[in-house]
A and B are shown apart, each in its own frame.
Chain A
Amino acid sequence: MDMNTEESIDAAVGLAIHTDALNLWYGDFQALYDVNLDIKKGRVTSLIGPSGCGKSTFLRSINRINERLGYVRIEGAIDVFGNNIYAPEVELVQVRKQVGMVFQRPNPLPASIRENILFGHKLHNRERKYSRDDEDEIVEESLRQVLLWDKVKDNLRRKATGLSLEEQQKLCIARLLPVKPSVLLMDEPCSALDPKGTAAVEELIWELRGKYSILIVTHNMAQARRASEECIFMLMGKVIEHTNTADMFVTPQHQETADYIEGRYG
């Protein structure tokens, strides 16, 4: 009975990302083994596991940033909203537009706050000229979404690199929004921040859920617990467990998961 209602909700929610027997090699080293995942639309899903378990590799294959390394080989498929992003006809630029990424260390461009927000927007809207008012609106809208507007609205010409790390990280999230991505990937977005900054960014992630499907890699189990609705535990390139975050931390189904979240290794 319970199961049924849950499944029907899942079906209604829809999938943001679906992977089918995803295998990935760095040269001869296999980093991902048969990863089959269904990541739901509009949810915050966290990826946890010890260093080297493949969680960042998995994250980075969803916007195909891994390929830059050259010696990466991938088998299987990753569907983002039903389309395989590894299909031969897929245009990389469009993938990057749909699937935004936030890094460990905030990496704002060495330009003003305003220019940072408009950078992606201008790249992807070159065929149309936007008026200053339109651009102002985009800047305000994006900064409001990341809860940064009130703080920086009087200094939009200020250098983004002069902001605090927390504000920089929020800006890095904000600059993805004007091109209307559907998925946001976050690779340990708080690991460079102090506790106050971490709390603020987690609050923001929580705020953005529903509007975007968010996948967040974290080393910090407390963070996974606080800031995600679903949780995936990976170990040595394999997915061990994928459930609601609340269930994972209370009643893990696998011994490895239990050991990890109790801190016996990691």
Chain B
Amino acid sequence: MSDTELIANPFLETDLNVSAKRTEKLFKILFMLMAGLLILPVLIILTTLVVKGGGMLSFDFLFTNPTNGMTEGGIFPALLGTVWLVGVALIISVPVGVAAAIYLSEYAADNWFTRSINLAIINLAGVPSIVHALFGVGAFVIFFGFGTSILAASMTLAVMTLPVVIVATRESLQAVPPAFREACWNMGATRWQTIRRVILPNSVSGILTGVILEVSRTTGETAPIMFTGAAFFIPVLPQSVFDQTMAMSLHLFVVSTQVPHVPEGLPYGVALVLIAMVLLMNSASIALRMYLRGKKKW
């Protein structure tokens, strides 16, 4: 009996365990706090916008022209202008980006040419948007002679977002298992037949997601459009891609800093609509991806 008492139980907690546990807890809480901090700006921004700008929202605000030196009235020309700018940018960047990604993923051999294209994509993604803006002025407004117009602004946006489309498309093409390609080639299918019949149908969900992501990014851009096609104030709606237009992002900048005597709620209202457009498209993207994933065939 005394023997068993003399031998200490090896499974009991020691001082070392206690301190290790305390450190463990400390770090866990620290990391959790940092992760939690992320939500804070989103919450603050959204609450502020809704509280201060929510009152502005009405049918008239969305669908009428600004009046009285932009201190009253609605935002319709800016709203429609953003739709124009984003739409035309998409029409340009999606075909180019998807085609480029197909080349890189399905045709290109690993050589200096491919590597330099990849390098160009990475660098294009890293160019600051104000540099893109000045490039747009030089190339599209002046050199190609489009003037400050929707076309010039959208092309600038397209160049800027091309890397997103290419990378997203390439990733979703490469997610298609190589065994499918092998199966097709072995039956004598050409690369294009393989791409059209097997690879594209099976990667369309990823491509669409990338495209929508691009849209939501393009919507908020200000710098690339302010010198190339977006205008301070135009009371008429654009009729073609060669017209200038107002845009949501620039309008927000203008009513916040450039115009005197703007009622306090107006910029918040504009910001709220802008952010709602982006969130709406992001949720559409997520919903679409979930729907198409559910339909995926393997």
Contacts and interface: CB of A to CB of B under 8 A. Distances in A.
Nearest to A116: B183
Contact of A103 (B109, B182, B198): B182
A97 B182 contact: no
Interface size, A (range): 20 to 34
B179 A103 contact: yes
A58 to B, nearest CB: 16
B174 to A, nearest CB: 16
Contacts of A123: 187-189, 193
Interface string B254-298: 000000000000000000000000000000000000000000111
A105 B179 contact: yes
B242 interface: no
6 contacts: A65-B182, A68-B185, A94-B188, A107-B183, A159-B298, A176-B187
A120 B182 contact: no
Contact of B186 (A96, A159, A161): A96
Given A107-B179, A108-B183, A159-B297, A120 B188 contact: yes
Interface of B: 109, 179-180, 182-190, 193, 197-198, 202, 296-298
A54 interface: no
A78 B236 CA distance: 74
A96 B179 contact: no
Interface of A: 63, 65, 68, 70, 92-97, 100-101, 103, 105, 107-111, 119-120, 123-124, 159, 161, 172, 175-176, 179
Contacts of B188: 92-97, 120, 123-124, 179
Contacts of B185: 65, 68, 96
Contacts of B197: 119
Contacts of A92: 188
A107 B187 contact: no
B196 to A, nearest CB: 11
B298 A161 contact: yes
